[in-house]
Amino acid sequence: MTQTESTVVVRVGGEGGEGTITIGDIFSRIAARAGLEVYSFRTYPSEIKGGQVLYQARIGTQRVMSEGDEADVLVAMNQQAWTECNDHLCSMSTLIYDTNAVEVPESYGGVTYPIPATEIATDLDWARGKNFVLLGALTCLFNFDWEMTKAVVERRMQRHKDTLTKNLAALRKGYEYIQEHYTAPFDHALPLPDPDTIEERILITGAEAMAMGALAAGCQFYSGYPITPATPIMETLAKYLPSFGGTLVQAEDEIASINMIIGAAFAGKKAMTATSGPGFSLMIEALGLAGITEVPIVLVNVQRAGPSTGLPTKTSQGDLFLTLYGGHGDAPRFVIAPDSVKDCYYSMINAFSLAEYFQTPVIVLSDQAMASRLETMPWDTKLWNPVLERRLPTEEELAEDYRRYKDTEDGISSMALPGMSGGIYLAESLEHNEYGYPDQDPANHEKMMKKRAKKTETARKLLKDWASTARRWGEEDAAFGIIGWGSTRGAVREAMDLLQKRGIKVEAIYPHTLLPMPDEAMLSFFKHKKAVLVPELNFSSQLARMVEHRYYKALYKLNIQFHTLAKEQGVPFKVQEICDAVVKMIAEEEGC
């Protein structure tokens, strides 16, 4: 159980199409507006309508790092919400339910708030508004101010002006129903901060944070094809990119998308696309084109569960091998893995810096859970690392003997832009010489392969001084460690806190740059370790296999044992799952 006295987990369950996500989304925004910290999770079926939907919001008076394991409050919009969720409720849970759709057995020992939501909405001649009746009831129970609640709903639903009046009426009825029928204090209501003491912060999804980070980095061109769960990045940029002087194109497919951004980057624009696993697969050939022509692009992969169409609306970390190694032949690429919504913003700025400076593709690995979740984050515009720009040729280079692919010590050669006098060159997908002309001589091919490969080692040295190459938590001398990546961080951090209270010392490291790996940080982490747990949301423990392969000499010398925790169910880790795995690892290693 991960809840504390300062946090509450609210779970909403219902059928797709009846506004389940809307309740959770708006409730999260109201809680944040009231000054509480918010962390949410949503899971829904791939059908356009129908199927069971779940939204979980954890709110608190302190920082919230995960969506929580068990629910303190369940809002059941249909019978399935009750039957599927009643085994995942806290012992002191509260049930809020639509009496017209849910039957609760007498054996349920928690507190109940039966509300005839469908009946109330029908009396308003707005049967579809039962979700707003339940939302009004929920916000009243948490003592959220009515005027503030109304204002948030008006702003969130302003694009549905034809139904706004009816929804507000349903919201009001639900709010008043609680006032009239339930006068006792709500067990889970949190103390609300004084509005004058609330520090400035924003509530944003991971997808929105990545889009905003791209804008802050100076992105000027986006081309993409809609795909779940990456589409919200394109939707956000479609809204804001033109205001920044940029251009967005919805291409006919993923192949066109990546080739368009290669063309834009060749012309001197900072360019990006976003997709998910199936779309990324289609982009592999063009990814090699960007590598051999040394064109800087940023590609976001919002992972979903596969293989093939798989579970298109569920989360996963199953694309790591594809992202690191997918392609024919060797060409440099960098891979960044943000581990929070806040980190999504800064990772995009870092991605554009690395792409532009090293003239190579940079892939940002997110996932459905992180991209769709709402999370409060402090508003801070201070950059974590210096912004790097593209190396342009000097006047001397252009006037004398300009070689676009000059074999330099660091592997980076100056890149002329179209229209530069003396800067004309051929960007050839065939192997080429320093001038860009096709050259299939074996010695030249080896030379150019080494030239491009040098970028990775140059970057590895540069990244040692960056603030966000890897993060470590816990005690450095701990004999047991955790290596993770991406969105699993929150569950791991909370598990470490619980383990510490039990006297169990654990240290964790989360590399942000998976390619190139932060060797110095990783080797330092291994020094005092006896065994390491690697939790991942994929079937084959891909990061564990990658780390074992890269650091096999050090691991063998130090005799460090690897324990894996692979979960491929389409949902995130629970904190208790991490705790149990750590305890099991220690027991196995110490023979107890």
Question: What's the rounded mean pLDDT across residues 258-284?
Answer: 98
CATH number of the 470-590 domain: 3.40.50.920
What pLDDT is recorded for position 4? Answer: 58
Mean pLDDT within 233-243 = 98
Using the structure block, give the residue that is written with the tokens 């349920």: 108
**pLDDT above 60: residue 175:** yes
Task: Please tell me the distance from the alpha carbon of residue 72 to that of residue 74, in angstroms, as a whole number.
Answer: 7
- Reported as a single tens digit per residue, the pLDDT across 362-375 is 999 999 999 999 99
Tokens 């900072």: give the residue.
Answer: 270
Task: Classify residue 230 by its DSSP letter.
Answer: T
Per residue in 389-437, pLDDT tens? 999 999 999 999 999 999 999 999 999 999 999 999 999 999 999 999 9
Q: Which tokens go with 339? A: 């581990």
pLDDT exceeds cutoff 60 at 3 = no
The residue among 110 and 383 whose pLDDT is bigger is: 110
Other beta carbons within 10 angstroms of residue 425's beta carbon come to 18
DSSP 257-317: HHHHHHHHHHTT--EEEEE-HHHHHHTHHHHHHHHHHT---EEEEEE-B-STTSBTTS---
Q: Please state, in angstroms and rounded to a whole number, the distance separating the CA atoms of residues 63 and 571.
A: 22
Measured between alpha carbons, how far is 480 from 483 in angstroms, rounded to an integer?
Answer: 10
**pLDDT beyond 80 at 251:** yes
Q: Give me the pLDDT at residue 201, please.
A: 87
CATH fold label, 204-378: Rossmann fold (3.40.50)
Least confident of 40-44, 192-196, 468-472, 560-564: 192-196
**What backbone torsions phi and psi does residue 196 show, to the nearest 5 degrees?**
-75, -15
- CA pair distance 586, 588, nearest whole angstrom: 5
> Strand pairing of 362-367 and 470-474?
unpaired
Closest by CA to 296, choosing from 321, 273, 279, 323, is 273
pLDDT, tens digit, 9 for 90 and up, residues 488-512: 999 999 999 999 999 999 999 999 9
Token duo for residue 557: 């010398």
What percentage of the chain has pLDDT greater than the value 70? 99
The Cβ-side half-sphere exposure at 533, using a 13 Å CA radius, reads 28
Contacts of 347 (CB under 8 A, 6+ apart): 210, 213, 336, 337, 338, 364, 468, 512
Q: Tokens for 292?
A: 């051999």
Q: Which helix (H) or strand (E) holds 74?
A: strand 71-76
Q: What is the pLDDT of residue 1?
A: 38
In this structure, the strands spanning 531-536 and 362-367 are unpaired
Are 133 and 21 a contacting pair, CB within 8 Å?
no
Q: How far apart are CA 140 and CA 541, in angstroms?
A: 45
Q: Hey, where are the domains in the chain?
A: 7-198, 204-378, 395-463, 470-590
**What six digits make up the tokens of 2?**
């991960």
- pLDDT value for 592: 61
pLDDT band for 382, please (50, 70, 90 cuts): confident
DSSP assignment letter at 34 = T
Does domain 7-198 correspond to CATH entry 3.40.920.10? yes
Domains 204-378 and 470-590 share a fold: yes
pLDDT of residue 86: 87
